[in-house]
Amino acid sequence: MVERLVTAVHEISPDVVVVSGDLTQRARPVEFEEARLFLDRLPKPQIVIPGNHDVPLHNIYSRFWRGLDAYQKYISQDLEPFFSDREIAIVGVNTARRLTIKSGRINQAQIDRVEEQLCGLSNEIKKIVVTHHPFDLPAHYQKDALVGRATKAMARLARCRIDVLLAGHLHLSFSGPTAIRYRADGHSAIFVQAGTACSTRSRGEPHSFNVILLEQDLITVQTFAAEQAEAFELRSTQEFCRSSNGWIAI
pLDDT, tens only, 160-214:
999 999 999 988 899 999 988 888 778 999 999 999 998 887 678 899 999 999 9
Q: Is the domain covering 2-249 a CATH 3.30.365.10 domain?
A: no
For 82-114, give the DSSP string: EEE-SSEEEEE-----SS-SS--B--HHHHHHH
Could you tell me which residue, 47 or 136, shows the higher pLDDT?
47
C-alpha span between 9 and 40 (Å, rounded): 13
Kindly indicate the confidence band of residue 103, based on its pLDDT and cuts at 50, 70 and 90.
confident
Between CA 227 and CA 235, with CA 230 as vertex, the angle to 5 degrees is 60
What value does the mean pLDDT of the chain take? 90
pLDDT surpasses 70 at 100: no
Query: 175 - beta bridge partners?
Result: 192
Highest mean pLDDT of the ranges 15-19, 58-62, 122-126: 15-19
186: which residues sit within 8 A by CB, 6+ positions away? 244, 245, 246
Surface-to-core class of residue 133, CB atoms within 10 Å of its CB (0-12 exposed, 13-18 middle, 19+ buried): buried
pLDDT digits (tens, 9 = 90+) for 24-68: 988 899 999 999 999 999 999 999 999 998 987 656 545 454 579
How confident is residue 235, by pLDDT bands cut at 50, 70 and 90? very high
For 215-230, what is the mean pLDDT? 91
Q: What is the pTM of this model?
A: 0.92
pLDDT value for 227 = 81
Q: Is residue 99's pLDDT more than 60?
A: no
Domain ranges of the chain: 2-249
